[in-house]
Chain A
Amino acid sequence: MWFGATKSLSGILTEPERPQTDRPAVLLLNAGLLHRVGPNRLHVVLARRLAEAGLPVLRFDYSGLGESDVRRDEVPIEQSAVAEGLEAMEFLETSGVAERFVPMGICSGAENAQRLAHEDERVVGAVLIDGYAYRTGGYHLREYARHVLSPRSWRRLLSRPLALRSVLGQGRAAMAPAPAERNPGGLDYERPFPPRETCLKEMTQILARDVELFLIFTGGGMAEYYNHPRQLAEMFPSLAGHPRLRHEFMKRADHTFTLRSHQEEVMASIGAWVDAAL
């Protein structure tokens, strides 16, 4: 189906066989440049399972991705993503599919889901997978301990005398893997996150509207930013224990859920959250 002001956005709507009244619709947002099927077709399978649970699901492509046309204006991508998310909600509302919405996404999809939840009061829940995260003192301590206790790190250090000389000065960096050994299950670039205070303010405002939030962090995808289930409370102490904020740390999973066991795990977690929160 095509929607949006110029009918240039494309999406696939998966509807429940037995629609339930007053259930929100899920918006599955693009993960990076991947089109609407998601990494390893995860979004397709998830959409079908959520529809079986009674929720309509729209998987759509932002402009310039999948089948959607490139925008002709020069609106920054952060703004166009919100605008197009709103257009998707308008479309579903005017089509009589739903009046409340739950955006879900991985990586940039999580960032856009958070923006949409902050922007529009029709959003009643959001699932943010590998969204914004911030290194804490606890993060650095755990990373340091991980390297100090690792025979592999010591072998690497002792094989590089210059690194040994500078280890006290550089600490973790001197013991870190060489570039060629960098994360095969995550990202190979630095993600530009907003300041932690900005993110906290947004999340606080979202939760104050009774929105249900589910944050999932993968150990592989977020290794540079997040390394323990406790870290959410370290990042945002004022939100710790919030009744509408649930989070999960999938320590072994990588950013794109390459192993099928991890695909099943994340879909089961989302399914359980949907049952409990929506």
Chain B
Amino acid sequence: MQDAFYFGGASRSLFGVLHEPLGAADGGVVVVCAPLWREGIRAHRVLRQLGVRLAKLGHAVLRFDYSGAGDSAGESEHGNVDVWLEDVALALDEVRRRKPEARMTLLGLRFGATLAALAAARQDDVERLVLWEPVVNGAHYLDAGAAEHRTWRERYAVWRRLRLAELCDSGDEILGFQVTEAMRRSIAAVDLSQLSLASRSLLIVERSAPDATGGLAFTLASRGARVDHQVKAEAEVWKQQEDDSVAGARETLQLVAGWLAGGAS
């Protein structure tokens, strides 16, 4: 069973969907932080499927849209990291109100994982974190997004035999979305390697093994977090449009469900 509603008050009006747990098992509450922009739209299907699956295993799951994203109020260009973190805090408040005794988990994908980690550092009652392909460095993320947009535009111009100037671009776009200066500054300042999540339990799932430095998992573990790092070389479901994204992430979904059901301490 799922319930759709708006929360966060008139000023925010965030759209949320709560999957109620099935059966007697008490798996606590999982709040899902989606990726930004086009990645968020393309990952919608797989994150909904994850919510359905976790609810069947006894978890309550809240999926929600950030301000200016999805069905929430606002314009996408008004977002920035502070606004999105306030949205995550409002989502946590909403589940605390609905499930006051529940054990709290934040689960995020891509920049949603980044926001989940940053939010967890501010919220003492978030015991567990699932970071699926987290963005560790905001500046690199923006560079990669800008490069992907530039490459798309150039390839499209060549293919359509258009001059690049004919494809009017405001210069601050990443694949369908405007990235304002305020948004850019706030994202560029993010660096998860500076973060401490001591005493929290984390599952980090990435598509490739970390480099010689050990990556984010090593850094967070060295600062006292209990980290389970797993490599699943599956499809980049946040980039797919028409393919069966749920099947593409089958092993990752199983891994996350299993970890939340019992693997996490």
B41 & A41 in contact (Cβ 8 Å cutoff): yes
* Other-chain residue from B71, B156, B169 in contact with A261 (beta carbon distance below 8 A): B169
Q: A39-B176, A44-B70, A220-B156 are in contact. Are A66 and B44 (CB under 8 A)?
A: yes
B160 & A219 in contact (Cβ 8 Å cutoff): yes
Per-residue CB contact flags for chain B residues 130-171 toward chain A (1 = under 8 Å, else 0) read 000000000000000000000011011011111000111110
Contacting residues, chain A, for B185 (C-beta < 8 A): none
A40 & B167 in contact (Cβ 8 Å cutoff): no
In the assembled complex, the Cα of A257 lies from the Cα of B156 at a distance in Å of: 12
In the assembled complex, the Cα of A36 lies from the Cα of B4 at a distance in Å of: 14
Tell me the minimal C-beta distance from A137 to chain B in angstroms.
21
Per-residue CB contact flags for chain A residues 119-140 toward chain B (1 = under 8 Å, else 0) read 0000000000000000000000
Per-residue CB contact flags for chain B residues 34-66 toward chain A (1 = under 8 Å, else 0) read 000010010011001000000000000000000
Contacting residues, chain A, for B242 (C-beta < 8 A): 32-33, 189
Interface residues of A, dominant DSSP: loop
A185 & B159 in contact (Cβ 8 Å cutoff): yes
Q: Decide if A252 is an interface residue (CB 8 Å cutoff).
A: yes
Q: Decide if B254 is an interface residue (CB 8 Å cutoff).
A: no
Q: A32-B241, A40-B41 are in contact. Are A184 and B178 (CB under 8 A)?
A: no
Nearest neighbor of A254 in chain B, beta-carbon distance: B156
Q: Decide if B264 is an interface residue (CB 8 Å cutoff).
A: no
A257 & B176 in contact (Cβ 8 Å cutoff): yes
In the assembled complex, the Cα of A260 lies from the Cα of B241 at a distance in Å of: 19
User: How many residues of B are counted as interface, with CB atoms below 8 angstroms from the partner's CB atoms?
Assistant: 35
A259 & B168 in contact (Cβ 8 Å cutoff): yes
Tell me the minimal C-beta distance from A124 to chain B in angstroms.
27
A184 & B167 in contact (Cβ 8 Å cutoff): no
Contacting residues, chain A, for B159 (C-beta < 8 A): 177, 181-185, 220
B160 & A12 in contact (Cβ 8 Å cutoff): no
Tell me the minimal C-beta distance from A260 to chain B in angstroms.
6
Tell me the minimal C-beta distance from A181 to chain B in angstroms.
7
Tell me the minimal C-beta distance from A212 to chain B in angstroms.
28
Q: Decide if A258 is an interface residue (CB 8 Å cutoff).
A: yes
Q: Decide if B76 is an interface residue (CB 8 Å cutoff).
A: yes
* Other-chain residue from B162, B166, B176 in contact with A260 (beta carbon distance below 8 A): B176
Q: Decide if B123 is an interface residue (CB 8 Å cutoff).
A: no
In the assembled complex, the Cα of A258 lies from the Cα of B149 at a distance in Å of: 9
Q: Decide if A266 is an interface residue (CB 8 Å cutoff).
A: no
A259 & B167 in contact (Cβ 8 Å cutoff): yes
A37 & B70 in contact (Cβ 8 Å cutoff): yes
Q: Decide if B173 is an interface residue (CB 8 Å cutoff).
A: yes
Contacting residues, chain B, for A231 (C-beta < 8 A): none
Contacting residues, chain A, for B152 (C-beta < 8 A): 184-185, 258
Q: Decide if B216 is an interface residue (CB 8 Å cutoff).
A: no
Nearest neighbor of B170 in chain A, beta-carbon distance: A260
List residues of B whose CB falls within 8 A of some A CB: 2, 4, 15, 17, 38, 41, 44-45, 48, 69-71, 75-76, 152-153, 155-156, 158-162, 166-170, 173, 175-178, 241-242
The 3 closest A-B pairs by CB, nearest first: A40-B176, A261-B168, A184-B155
A-B contacts besides A35-B45, A37-B41, A223-B160, 14 pairs, CB < 8 Å: A1-B4, A12-B15, A36-B71, A40-B176, A41-B69, A41-B176, A146-B161, A185-B160, A220-B159, A220-B160, A258-B152, A258-B156, A260-B169, A260-B176
